[in-house]
Amino acid sequence: MSRIRQSSINAVVIVFLSASLPLLLLGSYTIKRCMEELKAAADEERKSFVMRSSMNDSSDFLTDQACAFATTYEKASLSAFCAAATEVAARNAAIAATTMKWESGEERQALEKAEMAAGEITASELRSVKLAAEAVGMAKSELPPIAAAFELSPSDEALGKSGKLERARELVFGAEHWEAKRRAEKAADEFLGLAQKRAEERIKVVRDEADRALLLVMVVYLFVFLTGLAIMALVYWLTVLPVRHYIQTLSASDLGNVYPELKPVGSAELVELARVINLRRAQRLRAERAFNDTELRLKTNLFMMPLGALETDGDNKVLSWNPAAEKIFGFTAEEVLGRDLLSLIVPERLRDEVGEVIAQLNRGIVVDKHINANLRKDGSEIVCEWYNTPLEDSTGAFLGWASIIKDITEERAEADKLLYLSRHDPLTGLLNRRSLQEKLDEETLRNKRSRGSFATIMLDIDKFKRFNDQHGHEYGDEVLKSVARVMTATVRATDSVGRWGGEEFLILLPETDLAGGIELAEKIRVRIEESNFPYKDSELKLTVTAGVAVCLDPEESVDNCIRRADEALLSGKARGRNRVEGS
């Protein structure tokens, strides 16, 4: 089924608005133009009425002034008449120019007829004024220009003074004059009637046109309103209701169906949106199933692996603890989850050191390997090898850290034992010759840096071969061990004692001069001499001879220093044994 697209609705709205707007503009423009036409028609009607009133008023004023002058012969009346006549002439000239603008020929003819009648009256009155002025003896120069310029007919010129006065009064008071004024007023009223009729017709036409324009605007507005309602209903049906349906579907999903499938409804775009969401839902569910399978396998591996595994949050609180960790530390998962790891399994003396490692992990720094002592639940200490890494989410934000732990207590003990055996004499427990050589090399380097001195004591049990042959090798071994115990108990903590070979022992004394070396060697010799060494049911006595050499020159080799101590030892042997000789 083909569905309506939102873009199609948008296109219809655009076309509809594009079509409606010109119609509204046309109607508005027509109404505006009609208002202007009505105003123009009213102005013309008012001008026609003013023109008619002006014509009548001017004619009456001229007649009054002409009558007054013909009776009183006052110059003021003459001047007022001439001024008004000049103004009327100017007005008539303006009217003559305006007549070309009238649309009606009949109206123009009526105006011309009224103007002609008014002009005849003015000419008659001007003639009366001129006759009266000449009759009273006014010179031409005394007359206003319009009166001076008026020419009398020869018959008027031929009249005497009394004849001119009589003729002047007849012109303004006679029946012909007033009949002419009535004709002029009738012509002006006819012009006004025609002008009003034309204005009314024009107003009617304009009003009809304005009504049609208003009707058009109202129809368009109504069409816009109804169409807008229809479009709103369509949009509500195709967009709002489907979106509300999608929201309700997504909001109503329970924990077992976090990603519900959407039923495609509404416009083509919303149907496509539902299809894409459903597609992503299917992909997400497949990815989650794969993730859950992977997580299950990982958990299985963690629970089955022989190494301890744990995770913490950013506050070092335990989040996970596998069975191997339970076996290593003795705590069950229920006992450690949510507890601080540092205070739980780290000895107090090591918490600063291990705390620094944890601080590095909390800063996102990988500490891939660290070995330290740990506490078990029963309080015993074990040695563990830790492999650590920070944990981050997909945005790179720090979550905590994880560790793999291996209990290396037995391995460390075995390694320490092997290391001990590789560096110590198996019989006496003293340093062996290799370890002594390393100590001597280290002391030589230190002596070169500090420009100090060190002493060496070469000690040998007197007549040990004969003693060994006489009493047996087993007792000889016991003697060697007893002598070793005496030397170890006598030397300083900074000194190094070792078996150099057979019954010979070498003692290294750092920061010691010749006198100090001889003093210590003599103390050892005396203690051995005063000691009793059990043999079967009796006790035996032993003596030792020692040679002491001090190394003062940083450039002197270790071998040369030992050689000088050995030479001092031999010198002591040669001088009777049981003595200390210095070199």
- Is the full-model pTM beyond 0.75? no
In tens, the pLDDT along 56-81 reads 666 666 666 667 766 776 767 767 76
What is the predicted pLDDT for the residue at 566? 93
What is the predicted pLDDT for the residue at 492? 92
What is the predicted pLDDT for the residue at 102? 46
For the chain, give every domain's residue range: 46-201, 267-302, 305-414, 424-582
Q: Is 145 exposed, middle or buried (0-12, 13-18, 19+ CB in 10 A)?
A: exposed
In tens, the pLDDT along 296-337 reads 777 776 777 888 999 999 888 999 999 999 999 999 999 999
What is the predicted pLDDT for the residue at 466? 85
Q: Among positive and negative, which fits the CA dihedral 182, 184, 190, 195? A: negative
In tens, the pLDDT along 95-126 reads 555 544 445 677 677 777 777 777 777 777 77
What does the angle CA 251 – CA 257 – CA 258 come to, to the nearest 5 degrees? 55
Cα distance between residue 142 and residue 78, in whole Å: 11
The answer to whether 485 and 499 have CB atoms below 8 angstroms apart is: no
Does residue 50 surpass a pLDDT of 70?
no
Fold match, 305-414 / 424-582: no
pLDDT grade for 518, boundaries at 50, 70 and 90: very high
What is the predicted pLDDT for the residue at 41? 67
What is the predicted pLDDT for the residue at 60? 67
Rounded (to 5) percent helix, strand, coil in the chain: 65, 15, 20
What is the predicted pLDDT for the residue at 257? 58
**According to CATH, what is the number of the domain 424-582?**
3.30.70.270
**Which fold would CATH assign to domain 305-414?**
Beta-Lactamase (3.30.450)
The answer to whether 418 and 506 have CB atoms below 8 angstroms apart is: no
What is the predicted pLDDT for the residue at 95? 58
Look at the block and give the residue holding tokens 């396998």.
297
Does residue 549 surpass a pLDDT of 90?
yes
What is the predicted pLDDT for the residue at 122? 76
CA distances in angstroms from 351 to 346, 348, 374, 380, listed in the order given:
6, 5, 10, 16
Q: Is 445 exposed, middle or buried (0-12, 13-18, 19+ CB in 10 A)?
A: exposed
Output the DSSP codes for 60-124.
Answer: HHHHHHHHHHHHH--HHHHHHHHHHHHHHHHHHHHHHHHGGG-S-HHHHHHHHHHHHHHHHHHHH
For range 41-68, the mean pLDDT: 66
Contacts of 249 (CB under 8 A, 6+ apart): 260, 262, 263
Quote the crossing angle between the two packed helices 473-490 and 464-471, to the nearest 10°: 130
In tens, the pLDDT along 169-191 reads 777 777 777 777 787 777 777 77
For range 198-213, the mean pLDDT: 78
| Cα of 563 vs its chain's centroid, Å | 80
